Amino acid sequence: MPGSNQKFAPLTKLTDDEQMLKDAAAEFADTVIQPKVYEMEETAKLDPELIRMFFEMGFMGIEIPEKYEGAGGSFFMSIVAIEQISRVDASVGVFMDVQNTLVNNAFLNWGSEEVNERFLPQLATEKVGAYCLSEAGSGSDAFSLKCSAKEDGNAYILNGAKLWITNAAEADIFLVFANINPEAGYRGITCFVVERGMDGFSVSKKENKLGIRASSTCELLLEDVRVPKENILGEAGNGYKVAIETLNEGRIGIGAQMIGIAQAAYDATLSYTQERKQFGKAISEFQAVQFQLAEMATKLEMARLLVYNAGRIKESGQPFLKEAAMAKYYSAEVAEKLSSMAIDLFGGYGYVKEYPVEKYYRDSKIGKIYEGTSNMQLQTIAKIILKN
């Protein structure tokens, strides 16, 4: 209202705990991860020592309650940490993201006390988790999966294969979605906790990817894997609910990864344009370059606001499906756009691996594909706005 003295905190304002974790994640990324980025990129493998340190820092169990040996933090704390880690290396960012926003959240929302007592302390302190939904013929049509589970006494026998599974090479705990009653369609889908070492379970082909190369993406094979009934997450037949609700949260995590990439591309470009001289002056002094920098800064701020807004709404307990879809869709667009603009402004230097921006461009592309393609996000948004 005109003349009102009421003040509103900006959406990007963090609580003390959120700011503390953000600062810790940023320092860890800059001092510990940054020196390892090139080698991990070249070898397409995460540094095992880095994984150990992630557990020591508490980054792998941010929302897990202290009674399960976790950090006892919030969903939004996970988001700001993922953003800062992804700013330095998106491969490491998604490693942490999958653990927190998919695997841990699935246990917290759907696990029984007995299941959580068994697995959450492991996930908080030493064991990596993987989320296993996709199959060769089941991508955007996620519930057309063919992986089967047949009841056999006090267990289920799982058969099938999973594809594009993030963290598969490092994981010991796998959330595997299989159908116990194909005739019931998606209502037969059930979420099973499969552990590395179970007979008949194996991690197979590792994909050779365009971007996020240090993040493992593998195929899983299940051949008569016997999984006890107590390893069902939630209830038999409600796996589709586990998948839908968990992925909605995961999309905000991917949004955080994308704004981390976009921030890195913007920071690198801002610095470079002030150092690079042509025609006797820094290229940042040319109006055409200034306009591009302004566009980058604006798009980045818009993407961050969408991601933070979705995270805040989720934490408030309100429906956030539309906001999560908007956040993932737009942040992926912005990450790709800003990293492309960065290459343009770096010129020839932007195209070589000696400079970081070509990696940002390659890493950004996956944001429009995994955890729901951009087209699927647009479809979700359209359905919701047309109902109102």
**170, 323, 333, 371: which is the annotated catalytic residue?**
371
User: Whose CA is closest to 160, among 116, 94, 222, 84?
Assistant: 222
Among 60, 63, 79, which residue's Cα sits nearest to residue 111? 63
Specify whether 207 is catalytic. Answer: no
Q: Which distant-in-sequence residues (6+ apart) come within 8 Å of 355 by Cβ?
A: 268, 346, 349
Cα–Cα distance measured from residue 11 to residue 312, given in angstroms and rounded to the nearest whole number: 9
Q: What is the 3-state secondary structure (H, E, C) of the chain?
A: CCCCCCCCCCCCCCCHHHHHHHHHHHHHHHHHHHHHHHHHHHHCCCCHHHHHHHHHCCCCCCCCCHHHCCCCCCHHHHHHHHHHHHHHCHHHHHHHHHHHHHHHHHHHHHCCHHHHHHHHHHHHHCCEEEEECCECCECCCHHHCCCEEEEECCEEEEEEEEEEEECCCCEEEEEEEEECCHHHHHHHEEEEEEECCCCCEEEEEECCCCCCCCCCEEEEEEEEEEEEHHHEECCCCCHHHHHHHHHHHHHHHHHHHHHHHHHHHHHHHHHHHHHCEECCEEHHHCHHHHHHHHHHHHHHHHHHHHHHHHHHHHHHCCCCHHHHHHHHHHHHHHHHHHHHHHHHHHHHHHHCCCCCHHHHHHHHHHHHCCCCCHHHHHHHHHHHHHHC
Radius of gyration of the chain (CA): 21
Q: Provide the annotated active-site residues.
A: 371
